[in-house]
């Protein structure tokens, strides 16, 4: 495994723990996680629906679904920057 991929995986794991910690402290853990996941996956599909207009699309895979599901809309924005 390359060092860049290792760094990205470690950074994603740290950020995922931070998202879960903030959601837990909000007092509405399940509601917060579900809302973040649904909005992220919705944003991922919205980007793909608008691909003919914008020319920018994100391939739907397990990794992109996981990132958008865990991190929500900021995860989709990160995927767009990585594209």
Which pTM was predicted? 0.71
- Whether 34 shows a pLDDT value over 90: the answer reads no
What pLDDT is attached to residue 1? 59
How much of the chain is in helix, strand and coil states, percent to nearest 5?
Answer: 80, 0, 20
What pLDDT is attached to residue 48? 92
pLDDT mean over 30-54: 89
């Amino acid at each position: 495994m390359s060092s860049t991929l290792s760094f990205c995986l470690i950074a994603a794991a740290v950020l995922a723990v931070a998202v879960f910690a903030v959601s837990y402290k909000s007092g509405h853990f399940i509601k917060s996680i579900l809302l973040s996941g649904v909005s992220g996956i919705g944003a991922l599909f919205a980007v793909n629906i608008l691909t003919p207009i914008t020319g920018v699309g994100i391939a739907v895979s397990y990794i992109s679904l996981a990132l958008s599901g865990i991190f929500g809309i900021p995860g989709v924005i990160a995927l767009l920057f990585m594209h």
